[in-house]
Amino acid sequence: MVTSTRTTTPPVLTEDGRAWLQARLDRATGRLLRVERALGIERSEELLREGWKLSAQVDELSRLLAEAVAPREVRDDPTIVEIGDEVVVELPDGSREALLIVHPLEASMDEHRTSSEAPLAKAVLGHRPGDRVTVETPGGVYACTILERTRIDEA
């Protein structure tokens, strides 16, 4: 019998991201409790669907928060771009863009955060400052240069 040992990398969440997702979990848990109470009174298809959706959301957020580590806990390679890094890139028009690469669920917190699954983040992850990378987007392909990479340091 062959057994496979698959290691998974824990999700990386910033301190602010963890607090924001905890607040989302708390709201979803509260809504789920209200839906469950309502289901005790009235069994409707709409309430059942909402309950299933909220239950899945609570499970996903709970799992993510339980497994997540802070950027400072990740043994990083200081020479390459990783999740939890602030990155400055130079775009084709010469402008510069700064972004904080984060877990996809944390990305909607603010405009500075970019999902690790976004085209620009995918292009820079694993590369070094000075590297020119190709970014493939639904609107086309472009190249940019990584200027800086900084590991965020949270208390």
Give pLDDT tens digits for 51-94: 999 999 999 999 999 999 888 777 767 789 988 899 999 999 99
- Contact between residue 84 and residue 74 where contact means Cβ atoms under 8 Å apart: yes
**Structural domain span for residue 143:** 71-151
Based on the fold, state whether residues 126 and 147 are members of the same structural domain. yes
- Exposure class string for 76-87: b at 16+ Cβ within 10 A, else e: beeebbbbbbbb
Number of domains composing the chain? 2
pTM passes above 0.75: no
- Contact between residue 120 and residue 101 where contact means Cβ atoms under 8 Å apart: no
Based on the fold, state whether residues 57 and 113 are members of the same structural domain. no
Based on the fold, state whether residues 91 and 123 are members of the same structural domain. yes
pLDDT at 76: 65
Based on the fold, state whether residues 127 and 109 are members of the same structural domain. yes
Based on the fold, state whether residues 24 and 39 are members of the same structural domain. yes
